[in-house]
Structure 1
């Protein structure tokens, strides 16, 4: 573990999502952002949950389902922390707050994705926009040691 976040200053997306950036505790040897992205965005991905983007309260429901699946998959640790990509796509450790809404970090337009990874790099839970839906995607990196 290092005492500084991986990479440079975090992108503004954590702030948009109501996340608190934690300036320590990022593990070395984590899966790259490119690898995490590929695990979430590929033709073989099957979402754990789907919310129609046109449904009333769709963003709130997507946030609720993301949190439920992120907790179930142990992406969020006992201190409410997990990892998100920073400005240069290195991982930054963040903490959930009372104002966290991961959907706020989605860029406008279909195809946006927000990836959250467990602090140990073994699991991720993402919120994506897919055509007319929001998808919750969970992935386990099988090659990461326990």
Structure 2
């Protein structure tokens, strides 16, 4: 995944507008998994969350955002420029940058069932914020270090 396919283009998906993310110039790794592959890594029956927050807990969205940021940093999903990849309007990856106002939970629908997937710029790891039943889940996946079957 050392080569690049060129600058990320376009804009983040429309539902990400309220998150406070800004589009950033930069490259997307040539071998980065497709959004569909990343989606499957998050929504399969074998997925175990790294952390959970009850959605009815006080300040649950803010707690979920803090946990997502903590796990995204620990998993090296966010690079040294505070950037990572999200789904673009054209379903390709778009490079974005964190801001002081970033809140991924702002993009989740009020009735549940939403998901935001953040991919490392090199395409090797992801950290997702999802809503599952009555909880927010933080899911981390490493595309290089999967358990053997």
TM-score using structure 2 length: 0.89
Aligned length: 143
Aligned equivalent of 1:133: 135
Greater shift, 53-62 or 26-35, is seen at: 26-35
TM-score by length of 1: 0.91
From 3, 7, 25, give the equivalent of 1:4.
Answer: 7
Match of 2:73 in 1: 71
The alpha carbon displacement at 1:10 in A equals: 2.9
Describe the superposition over 1:27-74 as per-residue Cα deviations: whole angstroms up to 9, x where unpaired.
222101111001101110000001000000000000000000000000
Q: Deviations over 1:70-113 (max 9, x none)?
A: 00000000000000000121000000000000111112322211
Q: Please name the residue that 2:53 is paired with.
A: 51
Larger strand percent: 2
List alignment gaps of at least 5 residues for structure 1. Answer: none
Query: Is 2:32 the partner of 1:27?
Result: no
Partner of 2:114: 112
* Structure 2 spans left out of the alignment, 5+ residues: none
Residue 63 of structure 2 corresponds to residue 61 of structure 1: yes
RMSD value, Cα: 1.7
After superposing on structure 2, the runs of 4+ consecutive aligned residues of structure 1 that deviate more than 6 Å are none
Residue of structure 2 in register with 1:97 after alignment:
99
Q: CA 1:23/1:13 → structure 2, altered by over 3 Å: closer, same or farther?
A: farther
